[in-house]
């Protein structure tokens, strides 16, 4: 696909499967390489400010204001089992249904600039606004790259995954904030699997509804 074609073809598609009977994991190392390609392209997004050096972990030293934490299909099923068993992390049905179907889950976080020590909170200053915008651009890059490869995806705000207890369980540093949980779903699935598209897919206006010309004389 061209860039224009990917943008026009991009859509939300959620797969929901009975959490007690998840889909078998059929994608292995080759798909993990595909995910790495998606994240490499995500990382081409622009960013204005570097991340705070003090917030870079020993494992992830990037100057970018974003981080990507990835679960493959097997880890999605293991995560599902943990959410089923651990009462402090009990997840709503929707998240569990998607984990039962996903080929992968990419958790995109950003590193806030802090004016005081507050866990998973941030000061609404210009630098943090820039960090959020940059991370959003990176996620969009990822989604368009997935679309061009025929991969079904859903960008979720994360729901229960945002909670400190869950983030800690996944080993994500406490000063990172989740901006998007991107579920990657198979393009082929059994008949009867519930699918759902984005709720705003049909609510888009025409260009004149959100654009005007500024005439300076």
Confidence at residue 117, expressed as pLDDT on a 0 to 100 scale: 59
Confidence at residue 92, expressed as pLDDT on a 0 to 100 scale: 84
CA pair distance 68, 182, nearest whole angstrom:
10
Mean pLDDT of 136-154: 97
Confidence at residue 118, expressed as pLDDT on a 0 to 100 scale: 52
Q: What mean pLDDT value characterizes the chain?
A: 90
pLDDT at 176 over 80: yes
Percent of the residues in the chain that have a pLDDT greater than 70, as a whole number? 94
Contact call for residues 91 and 159 (beta carbons, < 8 A): yes
Question: Looking at beta carbons, which pairs linking 201-206 to residues 24 or more positions away fall under 8 Å?
Answer: 201/11, 201/12
Phi, psi of 201 (to 5 degrees): -55, -35
Res. 119 pLDDT band, cuts 50 70 90:
low
CA pair distance 157, 108, nearest whole angstrom:
10
CA pair distance 52, 113, nearest whole angstrom:
7
Question: Looking at beta carbons, which pairs linking 32-41 to residues 24 or more positions away fall under 8 Å?
Answer: 32/72, 32/104, 34/149, 34/151, 35/70, 35/72, 35/104, 35/106, 35/184, 37/145, 38/106, 38/142, 38/145, 38/146, 38/149, 38/151, 39/68, 39/70, 39/106, 39/142, 41/141, 41/142, 41/145
Strand-pair partners of 19: none
Architecture of domain 3-199: 3-Layer(aba) Sandwich (3.40)
> Per DSSP, which regions of 58-193 are E strands?
66-72, 104-110, 152-156, 177-185
Domain ranges of the chain: 3-199
Token couple for 157: 């705000």
User: pLDDT: is 86 or 47 the higher one?
Assistant: 47
User: pLDDT: is 120 or 198 the higher one?
Assistant: 198
pLDDT at 208 over 90: yes
Using a cut of 0.85, tell me whether the model's pTM lies above it.
yes
Mean pLDDT of 101-124: 81
């Amino acid at each position: 696909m061209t860039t224009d074609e990917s943008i026009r073809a991009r859509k939300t598609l959620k797969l929901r499967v009975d959490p007690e009977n998840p889909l078998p994991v059929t994608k292995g190392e080759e798909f993990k390489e595909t995910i790495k390609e998606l994240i490499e392209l995500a990382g081409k997004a622009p960013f204005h400010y570097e991340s705070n050096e003090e917030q870079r972990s020993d494992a992830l030293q990037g100057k970018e204001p974003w981080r990507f934490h990835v679960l493959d299909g097997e880890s999605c099923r293991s995560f599902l089992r943990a959410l089923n068993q651990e009462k402090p992390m009990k997840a709503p049905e929707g998240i569990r249904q998607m984990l039962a179907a996903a080929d992968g889950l990419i958790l995109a976080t950003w590193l806030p600039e802090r004016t005081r020590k507050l866990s998973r909170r941030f000061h609404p200053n210009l630098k943090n606004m820039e960090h959020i915008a940059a991370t959003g651009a990176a996620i969009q890059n990822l989604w368009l790259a997935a679309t061009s490869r025929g991969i079904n995806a859903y960008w979720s705000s994360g729901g229960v995954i945002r909670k400190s207890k869950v983030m800690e369980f996944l080993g994500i540093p406490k000063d990172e904030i989740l901006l998007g949980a991107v579920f990657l779903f198979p393009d082929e699935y059994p008949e009867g699997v519930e699918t759902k598209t984005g709720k705003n897919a049909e609510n888009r206006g025409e260009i004149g509804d959100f654009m005007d010309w500024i005439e300076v004389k």
